[in-house]
Structure 1
Amino acid sequence: MRYIVVFAQQEIGYAVGFDNTSDAHDFLFWGYEEYDLVPYGIFDALTGEVWPYEHRGERISDVDDQIISRTALDYLKAAIRHTT
């Protein structure tokens, strides 16, 4: 799991991991289109890069990149604790 998507649903932040960027983008696209998710962006766990999500060329949320990184890293820490 390299790419961590960060999003909100009913004003609560969540994160989910994916192995490739196309699955991560698809999740955010369809989550926004079909399930009322508010996509924040994608965090690359290998490089530390953040890509704010744009839906059809426009940002959906005005969330700072640091919030995306922090949420993704918290998700990774929790995932590691559950596997050890």
Structure 2
Amino acid sequence: MRYIVVFAQQEIGYAVGFDDSSDAADFLYWGYEEYDLVPYGTFDVLTGEVWPYEHRGERVAELDEPGIRKIALDYLKSAIRQRT
């Protein structure tokens, strides 16, 4: 898992990991289009970069990069704990 997407559903924040950046982007796009998810952005585990999500060129949520990073890292820590 290299990319972690951060989103909200019914005002609760979630994160999900992907190996491929295009899968991560597709998840956020279709989640917003079809499933009423509020996409915040993507965190790259390898580089530490954050990309706030833009839907058709406009941001749909106001969570800043440090917030996206925190949720993603919390998810990563939880995933590591579950594997050990």
Q: Residue deviations 1:15-71, cap 9 Å, x none?
A: 000001100000000000000000000000000000000000000001110010000
TM-score normalised according to structure 1 size: 0.99
Residue in structure 1 matched with residue 51 of structure 2 by the alignment: 51
Describe how 1:6-17 pairs up with structure 2 within 5 A: 6-17=6-17
How much is the aligned-residue C-alpha RMSD, in angstroms? 0.3
Q: Which residue of 1 aligns with 2:24?
A: 24
1:64 aligns with 2:64: yes
Aligned residue identity for 1:46? L
Q: Shift of residue 6 of structure 1?
A: 0.1
AA aligned to 2:42 is: I
Residue number in structure 1 paired with 2:35:
35
> Structure 1, unaligned stretches of length 5 or more?
none
Per the normalisation by structure 2, the TM-score is 0.99
